């Protein structure tokens, strides 16, 4: 529920910014339905749920392969829509996350940080076996640890993290994309053109 509320607030703020700077909801709808290979985005999210949350997924190599598959799907989607606002920032964030994941076999995170913010189940997995879902325990052998998950939002934010630097780029690019889709005049629209930058 916390993640859902955070997502709704994020989307609402981005769309509101687009509307306040000259955008239209009708443009957002038309631009969203015109996205190329749009089905890849929900497929990637469903794949993440299958590999991270489905009972029986207790092999780290299988989970890692599924994680990399979701990144491949999203990167194809971004490339197909690369001319849209925010897509280069999104790609940069995914690239940073992908780099540290490939180097370490998962997204590094300090187990003690997870325990401090109440994610006890993941903490216990990391302590007992070194990984949980898409994350691995941060150690002195971790490569590029500054690209791992270490950013935590203060209370009362519902989804406190932890987040990576790449995640920040991803959220910034997504925000820019949503606001931009509200402002970009669809092809064939009779409405006068408005400034495209956000």
Number of folded domains in the chain?
1
Q: Does any domain span residue 113?
A: yes
Q: Is residue 30 part of a domain?
A: yes
Reported as a single tens digit per residue, the pLDDT across 71-120 is 999 999 999 999 999 999 999 999 999 999 999 999 999 999 999 988 89
C-alpha 130/C-alpha 1 separation (Å) is 28
194 within some domain? no
pLDDT for the residue 70: 92
Residue 94 falls inside a structural domain = yes
In a domain? residue 59: yes
pLDDT, tens digit, 9 for 90 and up, residues 43-75: 988 888 787 776 666 778 888 888 899 999 999
Indicate whether 190 belongs to any domain: no
For 133-145, the pLDDT digits (tens) are 889 999 999 999 9
Asked if 85 contacts 196 with a C-beta cutoff of 8 angstroms, the reply is: yes
Under 8 Å between Cβ of 97 and 137: no
Give the structural domain span for 78: 2-183
Check residue 1 and give its pLDDT: 64
Among 18-22, 92-96, 140-144, 151-155, the minimum mean pLDDT is found in 151-155
Q: Is 1 helix (H, G, I), strand (E, B) or coil?
A: coil
Residue 191 lies in a domain: no
Does pLDDT of 197 surpass 60? no
Q: Is 137 helix (H, G, I), strand (E, B) or coil?
A: strand
pLDDT of residue 190: 54
Q: What is the pLDDT of residue 193?
A: 46
Supply the angle between the helices 60-80 and 40-53 in degrees, to the nearest 10. 170
- Of 153, 66, 77, nearest to 106 by C-alpha is 66
């Amino acid at each position: 529920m916390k993640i859902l509320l955070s997502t709704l607030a994020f989307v609402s703020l981005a769309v509101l910014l687009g509307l306040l700077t000259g955008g239209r909801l009708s443009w957002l709808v038309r631009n969203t339905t015109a996205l190329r290979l749009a089905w890849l985005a929900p497929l990637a999210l469903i794949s993440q749920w299958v590999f991270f949350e489905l009972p029986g997924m207790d092999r780290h190599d299988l989970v890692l392969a599924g994680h990399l598959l979701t990144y491949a799907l999203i990167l194809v989607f971004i490339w197909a829509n690369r001319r849209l606002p925010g897509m280069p920032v999104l790609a940069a964030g995914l690239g940073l996350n992908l780099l540290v994941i490939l180097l370490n076999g998962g997204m590094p995170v300090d187990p003690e940080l997870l325990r401090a913010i109440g994610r006890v189940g993941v903490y216990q997995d990391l302590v007992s076996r070194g990984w949980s879902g898409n994350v691995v325990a941060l150690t002195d052998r971790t490569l590029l640890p500054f690209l791992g998950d270490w950013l935590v939002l203060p209370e009362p934010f519902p989804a406190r993290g932890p987040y990576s630097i790449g995640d920040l780029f991803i959220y910034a690019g997504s925000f820019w994309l949503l606001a931009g889709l509200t402002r970009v005049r669809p092809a064939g629209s009779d409405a006068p053109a408005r400034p495209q930058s956000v």
